[in-house]
Amino acid sequence: MKKKKKTNRTVSRLPAALIRKLGRQSDSSLAHEYDLPYAQVRQERLSRGLPAFARLAWNARQLALLGTAPDQQIAQRLGVGATSVYAKRQRQGIAAFGKSTQDSRHKWTKKQIQMLGKIRDAAIARKIGLDNATVAWKRRSLGIAPMGNRRGRAGHNWTKKQIAMLGKWPDQEVGRRLNLHRHQVAIKRIALGIPNSVTQQAEMLWTAEVVAQLGKRLDREVAEELGITASRVSGYRQRHGIPMSKSS
């Protein structure tokens, strides 16, 4: 009777969905997404001879897509992982695609919906007591073109005073002040190379000294010193593949 040859091959215990994303998404983002140690994900990729994920060099056209559709749809269109789109959108300070708080609360009547595209968004907003961005979102979600829409029509004419607001407040706040959709504000800010206020605050918060403490001390201890929630600290640590020390 012939003996079966032993092989050194080990069967991976990682989720099949994760394995399909190896090399197409960064090891740290996969580790965070599937709640696994960064080293385990990296080792799995290396054992399969897959190269590290090559980050997308975002251009203005690709950046303009952020927030205009669900992250998953944009990721498929650009050929990258959804986590990469999510991370880039967060760094750019662009809100996720979806309804605004006002639109979630407002119950649209048949008569109000019939106005969309026939009257300017600003006029409808004044009539029913909503902001322009909420009306524009509802109109776009129904596939209705804006009133007087013409190909090549100029967009908002930005003044120096309005441009000075960019990066000082979140895009949504600037949009509220100027009666513009937050995506219009974000696109203008990005085109001018102005960082958003959310990113600037994050950069000030996560200094080299603070990052050096992550994993060595409990997340709640670091959070207490920074004046933020423990979940925010643990989220940052996990996204960057920093494991907790056994002595912590």
Instruction: Look at residue 247 in the predicted model and tell me its pLDDT.
Output: 63
If asked whether residues 47 and 76 sit together in one domain, one would say yes
Q: Which amino acid is present at 42?
A: R
Residues near 229 by beta carbon (within 8 Å), at least 6 away in sequence: 223
Contact assessment for residue 35 and residue 234, using Cβ atoms and an 8 Å cutoff: no
Ranking 34-38, 48-52, 148-152 by mean pLDDT, the lowest is: 148-152
Contact assessment for residue 182 and residue 190, using Cβ atoms and an 8 Å cutoff: no
| CA-CA-CA-CA dihedral for 120, 123, 127, 132, to nearest 10 | 80
If asked whether residues 140 and 188 sit together in one domain, one would say yes
Question: CA 8 to CA 174: how far, in whole Å?
Answer: 60
Domain containing 222 equals: 206-239
Number of structural domains the chain divides into:
3
Instruction: Look at residue 161 in the predicted model and tell me its pLDDT.
Output: 92
Q: Is residue 116 part of a domain?
A: yes
Query: Across residues 212-238, what is the average pLDDT?
Result: 83
If asked whether residues 142 and 216 sit together in one domain, one would say no
If one compares 9 and 213, the residue with the highest pLDDT of the two is: 213
Token readout for 61 is 């056209």
The DSSP secondary structure of 139-150, one letter per residue, reads HHHTTPPPTT--
Q: Is the pTM above the cut of 0.85?
A: no
If asked whether residues 126 and 68 sit together in one domain, one would say no
If one compares 237 and 102, the residue with the highest pLDDT of the two is: 237
Residues near 158 by beta carbon (within 8 Å), at least 6 away in sequence: 188
Question: CA 246 to CA 248: how far, in whole Å?
Answer: 5
Sign (positive or negative) of CA dihedral 153, 100, 77, 41 = positive
Q: Is residue 106 part of a domain?
A: yes
What phi, psi does 116 have (nearest 5°)? Answer: -60, 125
Q: Is residue 1 part of a domain?
A: no
Instruction: Look at residue 170 in the predicted model and tell me its pLDDT.
Output: 80
Q: Is residue 11 part of a domain?
A: no
If asked whether residues 219 and 177 sit together in one domain, one would say no
- Residues β-bridged to residue 169: 166
Question: CA 31 to CA 47: how far, in whole Å?
Answer: 16
Residue 174 above 80 pLDDT? yes
Q: Is residue 151 part of a domain?
A: no
| CA-CA-CA-CA dihedral for 79, 81, 85, 91, to nearest 10 | -130
Confidence of residue 85 (pLDDT cuts 50, 70, 90): confident
In the chain, the N- to C-terminal Cα span, in Å, equals: 54
If asked whether residues 114 and 184 sit together in one domain, one would say yes
Contact assessment for residue 114 and residue 56, using Cβ atoms and an 8 Å cutoff: no
Supply the mean pLDDT for the chain. Answer: 76
Q: Backbone dihedral region of 226: left (phi > 0), alpha (psi from -120 to 50 degrees) or beta? A: alpha
Distance of CA 36 to the CA centre of its chain: 21
Question: CA 52 to CA 30: how far, in whole Å?
Answer: 12
If asked whether residues 106 and 87 sit together in one domain, one would say no
Q: Is residue 6 part of a domain?
A: no
DSSP annotation of 174: H
Contact assessment for residue 74 and residue 183, using Cβ atoms and an 8 Å cutoff: no
